[in-house]
Amino acid sequence: MDRTIQLFPDVAAIAQHAAGIFVDAARQAVRDRGIFRVAMAGGSTPKALHAVLLSDSFRSQLPFDKMQFFFGDERHVPPDHADSNYRMVNETFFSKTPVKPDQIFRIKAELQDAEKAALDYEQVLKTKFTLKLGELPRFDLMLLGMGNEGHTLSLFPGTTALRDNGRLVVRTWVGKLYTERITCTAPIANNSAAILFMIAGADKAPALKAVLEGPYEPDQLPTQYIKPSNGKLIFLVDSAAGGMLSKNLATT
């Protein structure tokens, strides 16, 4: 597996580096296939990346008209809700770009039945990636974060979303948050051309050490399920989250 782990002093430095990776991936995909398809992440860490992408030097390099935006997961709320991942990305990125609504494919988490929302998004992916039976979408880039107990996407420890049942997108009951989520499954993530984790904060240090240096126990630490089969895996980590890692594991 092509894995890189890099340590940075803070989120701002992670975002600067991530923006370079984002732009390079976009330009490369457009050169190769005329389109760049990226899965955006929720949570709070991506906001810093969005701000850097909007700055003059990066913005001018992005092929906005040839980009399609997807989501790795969504909270079970309408798109205008404070917890919505779509709302966060829209406010901090889409709304400040020339990207048109028909380039954005969000998860319809306003549907009361989360299973319907999952099946609907699965269909969106099948159509947009013109998938044949059994095929998986291949994102040019998937942005990911990690929770302090090792979850990524909405793949939480001990939940049914971790079972590989051939689905691309599933609804998942997250008991500890008393809520449903809708999430892409690990096989989709693992079919990406590149996966970029941005991980910041001291609360994540033990889980990150366990994910990268502990035994393979992915049902406890779902981030361990993320291992692209034919793609790059990049961890950009701040010094707080990376504080427990062994010296030789990461480059600075």
Residues binding ligand 6PG (CB under 6 A): 41-45, 73, 75, 85, 145-147, 151-154
What is the signed CA dihedral for 92, 184, 195, 57, rounded to 10 degrees?
-20
Task: State the minimum distance, in angstroms, from the CB of residue 154 to ligand 6PG.
Answer: 6
Strand ranges of the sheet holding 141-144, from the earlier edge strand across to the other edge: 2-8, 232-238, 194-199, 141-144, 36-40, 67-71
If the CB atoms of residues 151 and 171 are measured against ligand 6PG, the closer one turns out to be: 151
The amino acid at residue 78 is P
Residue 25 CB neighbours (<10 A):
19
Task: State the minimum distance, in angstroms, from the CB of residue 152 to ligand 6PG.
Answer: 5
If the CB atoms of residues 62 and 153 are measured against ligand 6PG, the closer one turns out to be: 153
Cα separation of 192 and 203, whole Å?
28
Specify the pairing of strand 73-75 against strand 179-184.
antiparallel
If the CB atoms of residues 45 and 172 are measured against ligand 6PG, the closer one turns out to be: 45
Task: State the minimum distance, in angstroms, from the CB of residue 132 to ligand 6PG.
Answer: 28
Q: Give kind and range of the element (H or E) at residue 126.
A: helix 114-128
Task: State the minimum distance, in angstroms, from the CB of residue 176 to ligand 6PG.
Answer: 12
If the CB atoms of residues 37 and 75 are measured against ligand 6PG, the closer one turns out to be: 75
